[in-house]
């Protein structure tokens, strides 16, 4: 059987692509920068963890209550 190069080829992300790591909010240390989605766009603002229940939107400088068991993302 012949190899199908289109299906056998490994196609990694580009060099300029972002690498994301997922965490639970309660596992992050205080002061850590995180994102709510693992994508880069204008609606995905960075947040800084203040304590186990609150985070600050770094763009708008507003504080928000956050559920401690949600999945958040950090850039590697």
Task: Convert the pLDDT of each residue in 18-52 to its tens digit.
Answer: 889 999 999 999 999 999 999 989 999 999 999 99
The reply to whether 6 falls in a domain is no
Cβ distance 68 to 52 under 8 Å? Answer: yes
Give the residues across from 20 on adjacent strands. Answer: 75
> What rounded mean pLDDT belongs to the chain?
88
pTM: predicted TM-score of the whole model, two decimal places: 0.79
- At 76 the pLDDT is 87
Q: Which residues contact 25 (CB under 8 A, 6 or more apart)?
A: 34, 49, 52, 55, 66, 67, 68, 69, 70, 71, 72
- Residue 59 resides in a domain: yes
Q: Give the C-alpha distances (Å, rounded to integers) separating 6 from 3, 13, 48.
A: 9, 16, 42
Range of the domain at 42: 24-71
Kindly state whether residue 39 falls inside one of the protein's structural domains.
yes
pLDDT confidence tier of residue 10, bands split at 50, 70 and 90: low
Count of domains in the chain?
A: 1
């Amino acid at each position: 059987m012949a190899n199908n190069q289109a299906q056998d080829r490994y196609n990694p992300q580009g060099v300029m692509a972002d690498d994301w790591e997922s965490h639970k909010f309660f596992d992050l240390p205080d002061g850590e920068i995180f994102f709510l989605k693992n994508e880069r766009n204008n609606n995905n603002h960075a947040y800084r963890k203040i304590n186990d229940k609150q985070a600050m939107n770094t763009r708008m400088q507003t504080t928000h209550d956050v559920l401690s068991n949600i999945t958040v993302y950090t850039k590697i």
